[in-house]
Structure 1
Amino acid sequence: MTVAESFTALPGTELSPLRLPAVTPGMIAGFARASGDTNPIHLDPGAARAAGLPGVIAHGMLTMALLGRLVTSWAPQERLRSLRTSFVAPVPGGDALVCSGTVTEVTQSAGESGLALVRLVARRSDGTTVARGVAEVAVDAVPGRGAPGAAA
């Protein structure tokens, strides 16, 4: 796949944070329908409490999708090469999230000018980290610097 639009990144680049409104039961139910994941901990407050949770929680994959939205609000979607996420805490219904990311490394890649590695994090409104991840984004050479990772 060729990408017509030029896109570059440097280590240390911070993505503009994605501040989201509270996760609503309607949002969770909509994601359950779309994904086919109807686990009761996402839909039934009683079942969630019986599982030791304070109430319904958002799907981990919904959190991952929001991290993907953060990346594709910064880089053209066709440049996203991979997105990996680890879930470390639940997202209770009614809680808001902030997703952020930082380019940590830009390397040369076979078939492309380079790959930017973007460290990602999603946090609840109280600051608790709920997910960590990394995205790989195809980038072009920086003008005057050659290919990413090349000696100057």
Structure 2
Amino acid sequence: MTRPFRHGGSEEVLVDDLTRTQIVQYAGASGDFNPIHTDEAFATEIAGRKTVMAHGMLTMGLVARALSRLVDQQSIRTFGGRFKQPVWPGDTLTLRVTPGEIADAVIHMELAVTNGDGHPVFTGYATVGTE
């Protein structure tokens, strides 16, 4: 059973001021120690980035955690999305969930994550059973 959405949608801050520590902790938990995520010199001098960037799956995990707070976790049927641009240390990420079509006891939801500047960093979808 889903929890009600306020005014047809829900918005939640996923993380306020993402830290390098959180990125390194995710690297340890996932086993993904790609230096683009953990090594400042590699990220800036070799990869040409402004700094290290968060793992895409860290963003996806934050979305999944928030989604499971909005609906019963067992009711989530599908979940996926696309990474639109990098997430950097210091970013604040906000998730907007918009319920759409309801068909065959399933709600289709649009997911959109923006950074503190309002730029999209992730867009996705989820389908949630209503029974």
- Distance in 2, matches of 1:138 and 1:77, equals 10
What letter corresponds to residue 68 of structure 2 in structure 1?
T
The structure carrying a bigger helix percent of its residues is: 2
Give the TM-score normalised by structure 1. 0.79
Show structure 1 runs of 4+ deviating over 4 A: none
Q: Residue 132 of structure 1: CA displacement?
A: 0.3
Among candidates 64, 69, 86, match of residue 60 of structure 2: 64
Q: Which structure: larger Rg?
A: 1
Q: Residue 73 of structure 1: CA displacement?
A: 1.3
Indicate the SS of the match to 1:22: coil
Offset from partner CA, 1:2-55 (integer Å, 9 cap, x none): xxxx43768x72023234211101100010011111110100111111212110
- Which residues of 2 match residues 99-110 of structure 1 at below 5 A? 99-108=95-104
Percent of aligned pairs with the same amino acid: 33
| Uncovered stretches (5+) of structure 2, i.e. residues with no partner | none
| Uncovered stretches (5+) of structure 1, i.e. residues with no partner | 1-5, 109-113, 141-152
What letter corresponds to residue 11 of structure 2 in structure 1?
S
Question: Which residue number corresponds to residue 77 of structure 2?
Answer: 81
Indicate the SS of the match to 1:7: coil
Question: Which residue number corresponds to residue 124 of structure 1?
Answer: 115
- Which residues of 2 match residues 1-152 of structure 1 at below 5 A? 6-7=1-2, 13-49=8-44, 50-108=46-104, 114-140=105-131
Coordinate RMSD, CA, aligned: 1.7
- Distance in 2, matches of 1:105 and 1:66, equals 24
Q: How many residues align?
A: 129
